[in-house]
Structure 1
């Protein structure tokens, strides 16, 4: 829930910044500040081994690119439609893609079959999106 709340705050801040400096520039700034903050947290609290990044399958490294696509589209959509509609659309998209990934066991995820409850959840989320419009 905290991540979701942070996302909405980030969307509002990014949208406001995007109106002043441009959407892509806002996205760039947010990533630079995020990278610096993550570097400091990793420096002091990280317990992993970044050298292992050279040994993982290359598709594992696409998350950064997808993060840029996500954030840029979020900042652009907030300036066009507002935070509520944009974040609701993001949540609906996340749930639909998550269900597809799990149903087919994609990207190393365990297979979880699509069922009636998941269908109901998607329909209700789509209704919530329409209501937020």
Structure 2
């Protein structure tokens, strides 16, 4: 049951990503893509601050002691969101999200195959190859 809830949460996260992409793309057409990305991050940072303030149980001060490569997530988040907002304004939400998912799956398979970035090793196999092929086919079907 717990795994089902986690899967459901991931599906909801994916759905919210598509909604965010559509909203960010629409905003980007009015204020500019980079400005839209900046706005989304500012609002997101403020919301996360409030949630962390009331519900956080970690140690934010430990941020200064972690390996520096652990801090690249923020930069990659900006690159991801900016490119997504730009692509949505040019090619639409559906094809942009399909391309994002293909990119995520391909790099995830590589990361897991080699156990990179602290990830457990999960070997590349035929099922994963078929998944990438089918996702690539879906890309052309969404076009």
User: Structure 1, residues 50-96: CA drift from partner, whole Å, max 9, x if none?
Assistant: 01111100000000000000000000000000000000000000000
Q: How far off is 1:3 after superposition?
A: 0.4
Q: How far off is 1:121 after superposition?
A: 0.4
- Distance in 2, matches of 1:98 and 1:42, equals 28
- Distance in 2, matches of 1:9 and 1:61, equals 26
Is residue 2:113 matched to residue 1:103? yes
Residue of structure 2 aligned with 1:7, choices 11, 17, 34: 17
Residue of structure 2 aligned with 1:24, choices 30, 34, 39: 34
Aligned pair count reads: 133
- The Cα RMSD (Å) is 0.3
- Distance in 1, matches of 2:57 and 2:142, equals 41
Higher relative contact order (CA 8 A, sep 6+): 1
- Distance in 2, matches of 1:32 and 1:51, equals 21
Tell me the equivalent position of 2:104.
Answer: 94
Tell me the equivalent position of 2:140.
Answer: 130
Tell me the equivalent position of 2:5.
Answer: none
User: Structure 1, residues 100-127: CA drift from partner, whole Å, max 9, x if none?
Assistant: 0000110010111000000000000000
Is residue 2:52 matched to residue 1:64? no
Runs of 4+ in 1 over 4 A off after TM superposition: none
